[in-house]
Amino acid sequence: MEFIREIESKKDLVLKSIEKYGCFPEHHFNHFIDLKEEDAVHVLVLFEDDMSLLTFHYEKSKTWWIITEPLAPFEKQSDILLQFLNHVFEKEQAEKVLCEFTENFRKKIVELLDKEGKLKARSPAYSLFWPIFEMKNWDNSLTGKKWKIIRNLRNYFLREYEPELVTDINTTSKEELNKLVKKWIETRHANDRVDDEHYYNVIKNGFEGCDSVRIFTINGKPVSITAGWKMPNSNNYYSAIGILDYDYKGIGEATNIDDLTELKKKGYDFVDFGGSNKGLFDFKLKFQPHFFYKTDFFTIIKQKEI
């Protein structure tokens, strides 16, 4: 096990691990870079045969954050995770490890920790729901009664505001995009967790690593951003960013329809519309995803602290 902190200079190691084992939306180098908070340090935890964990170390609080499932064959994921956990609690004086895993993987880890008896996984602090669209079944025409409401809202937005679509981010001011993000964050519900720095980092870094960026402007001012990337070892797409100015009626319907329609044209098999709390997930259900999965955010601590 090797802890590598000079991530940007070791990009080849991260990419090699992702190319071999990547399968989750967060298995993405630029996303890993953009997630960094001011008081955190990127750490690639590298194992044999290019297996790895994408983590952050908060040195002052003695906290580690594992952003998603290990980059490893499925049958080895729990083994390398346990190696990491035992090491950081015994050798790195960790006080807690934050994790966000799919529901089934979390349950597997909880069972293993309970069996070992040294560490304890707390109950999830919150859960996110991830809608998935199968593109062969997505109806670009939105015909029929079941699409009437969102079709009318999309048409209202396009007719009333006459937005312009921008796909060249170099023609849009980063300052104006940051203003949109700030306004969007301020309109979110208090219990809706938003990683502020992540979005500002994406803009600062020019959406590097994104395979699609679509910005709607009204009178030259950006009012929405959708962006994402192709997931590794698949023909699937992760719609990672959806930022809206809610002053404009129908903007959510219009931008999501635009995104799905464009992604179907590009030939993706499945589109992951991102983790959502209950309120946002209810909104995404309007677009009739074909199935969904759940992730849990939880904390691992030493058993004696319970």
CATH number of the domain located at residue range(s) 2-121 in this protein: 3.40.630
The answer to whether residue 183 scores a pLDDT higher than 50 is yes
The mean predicted confidence, pLDDT, of the chain is: 94
The answer to whether residue 4 scores a pLDDT higher than 70 is yes
| Cβ contact 96:66 at 8 Å | no
The Cα 245–Cα 254 span in angstroms is 12
Question: For 67, left (φ over 0), alpha (ψ -120 to 50), or beta?
Answer: alpha
Q: Give the residue extent of every domain in the chain.
A: 2-121, 130-294
| Cβ contact 213:225 at 8 Å | yes
φ and ψ of 134, to 5 deg: -90, 115
* Two domains, one topology: 2-121 and 130-294: yes
What number is the average pLDDT over the span 106-114? 97
Structure confidence at residue 306 as a pLDDT band (50, 70, 90):
very low
H or E segment to which residue 64 belongs: strand 63-66
User: What's the pLDDT tens digit per position in 244-265?
Assistant: 999 999 999 999 999 999 999 9
Residue 195 identity: D
Q: Does domain 130-294 have CATH number 3.40.630.30?
A: yes
Q: Please report the pLDDT score of residue 55 as a whole number.
A: 98
Beta bridge pairs of residue 3 = 45
User: What's the pLDDT tens digit per position in 59-108?
Assistant: 999 999 999 999 999 999 999 999 999 999 999 999 999 999 999 999 99
Q: What is the DSSP letter of 191?
A: T
